[in-house]
Structure 1
Amino acid sequence: MDWITLLRSLQSDFIKRLTSGCLLHCETEGQYSELTIISGERLKALREFCWLMAEKYKRVSPVRDVFISYLKGKLGEEVVKERLADFITEVDYEKRFGGDGNIDFTLTSDPSIGIEVKSRHGNIDRVRWSISSEEVEKNAVVVCILIQEDVSEAQSQYHLFLAGFLPTRMIKLKTGKISFGIDQLLYGGGLWCYLEQLQSSLNNSSRQQPSIYKYLPKQEILSKPTNNQLLKSFFQPEYNNNEDLNTLYVKLGDEYFEKGEYT
């Protein structure tokens, strides 16, 4: 079983459990959780920040529209910040306008690896996330967050689901923007490991070493994995003279594009 098949299988199981409400909920920072709940002082701080941004850009758009846009974006970013913790660094919001900028986070140890967060509210069967060709070019992954409640000034608590992620190298654009549903995403539990492996491959490449990887199922697990390493045991590098990691993802993207899965 290859790693994409594994994460797709886990995603199918996650979607079933999302419908029934049986989800993994961990409040420990840096550990994986399918559900994140934001309320109280934490939500108050987000609201205050978003009102400041709304006031700052009130000449560009109506204040309430800017507030809602920023709050949606910040709620999604809070999920990713809590799950990846010190592994990532936030891009300064005040240096750009809008809740969905081109890059939301970078890896702390490698700022060249960008992460885009997309937050949406809607029914699980109909909600869609979209990404532009520019965002694909500037980011290594897009992380999708599903907000259960309608975003407003009065909402006192938000239930946020890490709906999944996609490596941008798997996304092929026919036009300037595409959209995708939750069933087309990879299971969020593989995000940390994917970024680690991507970082490792880029580091090896920068040292002009033969950074060639192919992910295959590991035959045995030598030690019990932590939550962050839940899927890491399934990813094992194998030397191959013909294709590096980037070529592999481009190839995979072509295959899924031909199947009509990312159009």
Structure 2
Amino acid sequence: MDWVALLKNQQEDFIYRLKSEHFLSHRFKGVFGESFVVNKNKAIPLIQSSEKLAEKLQETLDNHDNQLTENIFKNKLIKYCVNLSFGDLLVEVNPEQHFLDDFLILALKDNHNFRIIVKLVIADSANIADFADVKWFFTPEEVKSNQIVLCAFSGEDLTLNKSQYKIIFAGFLPTYTLNISKRQNRFTFSFSHLLYMGGLKFYLTSYLDQKYDYLKQASLHNNHGDYLSAIYCYDQVLKNNSIDYKVYLLRAIAKWKIGSQQGALADLNQAIIIYPKYDLAYHWRGYIKYKIQSYQEAIFDYTEEIKINPLSIYAYYRRALCYEKTNSLLKAFEDYSQVLILNNNLYQGFYNRGNIRYELGDKEGALEDYRKALQLNPSLAKAYYNLAIIYNDLGEINQAIYNYKSAINLVPNYVKAYYNLAIIYVDLGKYRQAIIHYDKACELDNEFIQAKYNKQFLLEYLRQEKQNKYNPEYNQNSEGKSKFKKPEQFTPEITSDLLPEKEHHQDEKKIVVNNDIIKVQKENNFDKISIDPWNTKPR
């Protein structure tokens, strides 16, 4: 026999005893009881607090409601009885929003997303024997927004002048067992529809144990890269609680890991619908929008995240990356500056702001930011590389050579550094050194056609120079030497995602052939660094 069938049998027994008023009365806190008797002494504090609250509320109400105090008192009385049996598990949620309602909302202390809606029906004591007429009504929205409906009953009016108050817990029902159709206007429950109230504590603790078990399993699956199994675990949690926005986020991350962009976005959208102030959901949605190149939508999400959490470093950081993609360099500069105000130990912030300064023409400012980035991370080869390019632009050739060599010492296969050094050695007339560096670039990248072309061009030039040297008609100012065109160096590295695994995304080389002269088609000029604190790279 499953637990539902067992509780239904117990409910039938409860209904039989209810007709003869043989209840299991509540006696001790934390122990279940079917009925609760609250005497006047215990009710007075509830009445007094209800009267004070009603006075405050009536000051803001257009129409003074004489029943307001009694309505507040009824909810407080139900909460009091719930606390006697389930106070270790349940807590009231947003009570200030339900003072005027005929229900109250409870939640698990360990999971505020698991909601219980409680409604009280008051029947005339003269008709108490006819329990078939007692009905509880819930709207589809109330059922959809909560995980449990809990029904309470009193056989007499709960006015403020009584000597005692009697409450009976009629039963409960998990909402996942109900089918919600679009045409359904309301749900109607009687005693016979409900499960025996004595099983509620077991159900709640079982849910918590099961949820934590599934979440623990999901975490293990994620750690092993088994994201499909993790998604299955999240599915099981959401079956019992369809408004757990945190689980939607976790499932979205797992879906992103397997490359399901639309599935991840759907879960993030749902998380935001359930909890519009969920900053992490905005961050992740912005991250995915950035990855699929929907930069304006990503900017919107990061802006929403910043509204919720103005101290979110990564929101400013990633929004800056989006601004760069849309060529809004000043806005990107402002966001990187804000990142560094919040955390001036973030070398990526200095590095990327240095890139922006270079693009805006502030080479001295770029030098300053690259140096600060290297103070924080002396292993950042890209910063040395970019420093070399700026020093070369400024005519400080020795500094340029030093920084190119520093980049190569850190990254021995730094092809572009070898290539640019070769160009500098050509300018200095150190042709042998230039050829050595062209050779190294070609060795590291066998498809580096521009380096091969430059090397062959230089060798041909040197051969012609050697021949002309013994030609009495050779003139140093003749156009023979002027035919040597200085190759174009690589420009500074551009922003790319630097993930926690320290993986770099390298742009594919695009080569065009134009009139037998081969050039590397330039794309972006700087390698920028993108922080990914939550390891979001898909498999």
- TM (norm. structure 1) is 0.74
Name the counterpart of 2:144. 137
Match of 2:175 among 168, 180, 197: 168
Q: Write out aligned runs for 1:37-48 (5 A).
A: 37-48=37-48
Could you say if the C-alpha distance between residues 246 and 89 of structure 1 is closer, same or farther in structure 2, counting changes exceeding 3 Å?
same
Which residue in the other structure is 1:193 paired with?
A: 202
Query: Deviation per CA, 1:214-242, whole angstroms, max 9, x where unpaired?
Result: xxxxxxxxxxxxxxxxxxxxxxxxxxx9x
CA contact (8 A) 2:115 2:145 kept: yes
1:109-128 mapped onto 2 (5 Å cutoff) = 109-122=110-123, 123=128, 124-128=131-135
Deviation, 1:249, is 10
Alignment of 1:7-22 (within 5 A): 7-22=7-22
Unaligned 5+ residue runs, structure 1?
211-240, 251-263
Q: Distance in 1 between matches of 2:240 and 2:53?
A: 41
Q: C-alpha distance in 1, partners of 2:2/2:164?
A: 39
Stretch deviating more after TM superposition (29-38 or 53-62):
53-62
Query: In the alignment, is the contact (CA less than 8 A) between 1:163 and 1:182 conserved in 2?
Result: yes
Q: 1:95 offset after TM fit, Å? A: 4.7
Deviation at 1:142, TM superposition (A): 1.4
**Code of the aligned partner of 1:153:** L
Q: Give 3-state SS (helix, strand or coil) of 1:71's partner.
A: helix
Match of 1:179 among 188, 208, 218: 188
Secondary structure (helix, strand or coil) at the match of 1:152 reads: coil
| Equivalent-residue separation in structure 2 for 1:21 and 1:68 (angstroms) | 26
Task: Determine the C-alpha separation between the residues in 2 that align with 1:198 and 1:104.
Answer: 18
Tell me by how many angstroms 1:50 deviates. Answer: 2.0
Report the alpha carbon displacement of residue 22 of structure 1 after superposing the two structures with TM. Answer: 1.1
* Structure 2: gaps (5+ residues): 220-232, 243-539
The alpha-carbon distance between structure 1 residues 46 and 60, as it changes in their structure 2 partners (threshold 3 A), is farther
Higher relative contact order (CA 8 A, sep 6+): 1
Instruction: For 1:177, give the aligned amino acid.
Output: R
* Alignment-derived partner of residue 4 in structure 2: 4
Aligned to 2:155: 148
Structure 1: how far apart are the matches of 2:210 and 2:143? 19
Q: Which residue in the other structure is 1:80 paired with?
A: 82
* In structure 2, distance between residues paired with 1:61 and 1:170: 40
Corresponding residue number in structure 2 for 1:231: none
Equivalent residue number for residue 233 of structure 1 = none
Q: Which has the larger radius of gyration?
A: 2
Moved more, 86-95 or 160-169: 86-95
Letter in 1 for 2:36: T
C-alpha spacing 1:173/1:72, structure 2 compared with 1 (3 Å) = farther
Deviation per residue, 1:35-66 (Å, 9 max, x gap):
11112222111112222232233325543221
Question: In the alignment, does 2:214 pair up with 1:205?
Answer: yes
Q: Please tell me the residue identity of whatever aligns with 2:28.
A: T
Question: What's the counterpart of residue 93 of structure 1?
Answer: 95
Task: Give 1 or 2: higher strand fraction.
Answer: 1
> Given the superposition, is the C-alpha separation of residues 97 and 159 from structure 1 closer, same or farther in structure 2, using an over 3 Å criterion?
closer
* CA distance 1:95–1:143, shift in 2 (3 Å): same
Alpha-carbon contact 1:127-1:182 (below 8 Å) kept: yes
CA 1:155 to 1:248, structure 2 compared with 1: closer, same or farther past 3 Å? closer
Q: Which moved more, 1:161-170 or 1:150-159?
A: 150-159
- 2:62 is the counterpart of 1:53: no
CA contact (8 A) 1:148 1:158 kept: no
Does the 8 Å contact 1:120/1:145 carry over to 2? yes
Identity percentage of aligned residues: 28
State the shift of 1:248 in Å.
8.5
C-alpha offsets along residues 66-120 of structure 1, whole Å, 9 cap, x if unaligned? 122222222222221111022112224235442445x622111222211211111
Q: C-alpha offsets along residues 119-164 of structure 1, whole Å, 9 cap, x if unaligned?
A: 1111423121122222223322111111122121222211111110
Distance 1:209 1:29 in 2: 36
SS class of match (1:38): strand
Contact 1:119 1:146 in 2 (8 A): yes
CA contact (8 A) 2:176 2:240 kept: no
Between structures 1 and 2, the one with greater helix share: 2
Aligned partner letter, 1:154? N
Where 1:63 maps in the other structure, the secondary structure is coil
Aligned partner of 1:108 in structure 2 is: 109
Cα RMSD after superposing both structures? 2.7
Could you say if the C-alpha distance between residues 126 and 72 of structure 1 is closer, same or farther in structure 2, counting changes exceeding 3 Å? farther
- Normalising by structure 2, report the TM-score: 0.38
Distance 2:196 2:237 in 1: 20
SS in structure 2 at match of 1:113: strand
CA–CA distance in structure 1, aligned partners of residues 173 and 108 of structure 2: 16
